[in-house]
């Protein structure tokens, strides 16, 4: 059965990969993001292939705007089958005692509070229908801290705990909950973390073939297509030569 899939942070990286892969799967997609132009470009790309697409422009940190956008969905788009909580970011690699407080707030507000906002807005209707799937994009960084990761790792550990907690909360329903934990993925993520230092960001992927946004999207689609009695609770996805957050063999 074709599904209605809402993806946050859909303008690049894993979110964009999910938009394209769910569309290829025959699903219709609701794409959210902060950049209206990028969203429109993606909408046109998918619409030209016959995909039903709806775009919503908002920042998941803005709870009021997020609520306004979700509440204003046309009736035929309100029954969301899959919520992909993908919006997230990392900023900086400074030691915790030298970190930027504003950047910490941005990570916490996006990675944790933004995910909670979207969950709170979407899941109640899933419960009413006794059907749905929440896919949270966590990280290998949520399993163990690494040098310079401190607050970012903490936010992804929170994603794991919140995902596990939600799975417990909905265990008496048909709603499924999945935590995807990517390792090294070559996206705009590192460019953002290094505040636009493209050369430094590119160096992170030197000597190893990293994952792509499409690789993670493939796993998301697989989880959503599992039989109804099968819940893919958690998946750790690493590049072949990455063993942990900090162990990467470069050749």
Active site positions, annotated: 152
Q: State the Rg of the chain over Cα.
A: 17
CB atoms within 10 A of CB 58: 18
Residue carrying structure tokens 């030691």: 95
- In the three-class reduction of DSSP (H, G, I as helix; E, B as strand; rest coil), residue 153 is classed as helix
Query: How far apart (Å, rounded) are the C-alpha atoms in residues 156 and 140?
Result: 8
Are the C-beta atoms of residues 191 and 201 closer than 8 Å to each other?
yes
d(CA 82, CA 91): 28
Burial of residue 105 (number of CB atoms within 10 Å: 0-12, 13-18, 19+): middle
Contacts of 175 (CB under 8 A, 6+ apart): 123, 126, 127, 130, 131, 132, 133, 134
């Amino acid at each position: 059965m074709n599904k209605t899939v809402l993806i946050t942070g859909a303008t690049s990286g894993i979110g964009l990969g999910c938009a394209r892969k769910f569309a290829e799967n025959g699903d219709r997609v609701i794409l959210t993001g902060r950049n209206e132009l990028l969203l429109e470009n993606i909408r046109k790309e998918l619409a030209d292939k016959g995909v039903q697409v709806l775009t919503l422009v908002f920042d998941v940190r803005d709870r009021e705007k997020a609520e306004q956008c979700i509440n204003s969905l046309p009736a035929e788009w309100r029954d969301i089958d899959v919520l992909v909580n993908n919006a997230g970011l990392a900023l900086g690699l400074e030691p915790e005692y030298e970190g930027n407080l504003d950047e910490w707030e941005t990570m916490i507000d996006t990675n944790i509070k933004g995910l909670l906002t979207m969950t709170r807005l979407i899941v109640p209707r899933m419960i009413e229908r006794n059907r749905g799937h929440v896919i949270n994009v966590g990280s290998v960084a949520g399993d163990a801290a690494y040098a310079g990761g401190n607050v970012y790792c903490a936010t992804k550990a929170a994603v794991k705990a919140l995902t596990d907690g939600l799975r417990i909360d909905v265990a008496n329903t048909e709603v499924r909950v999945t935590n995807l934990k990517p390792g090294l993925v070559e996206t705009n993520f590192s460019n953002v973390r290094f505040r636009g230092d493209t050369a430094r960001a590119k160096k992170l992927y030197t000597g190893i073939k990293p994952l792509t946004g499409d690789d993670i999207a493939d796993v998301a689609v697989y989880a959503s297509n599992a039989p109804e009695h099968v819940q893919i609770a958690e998946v750790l996805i690493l590049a072949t030569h990455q063993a942990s957050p900090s162990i990467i063999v470069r050749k």
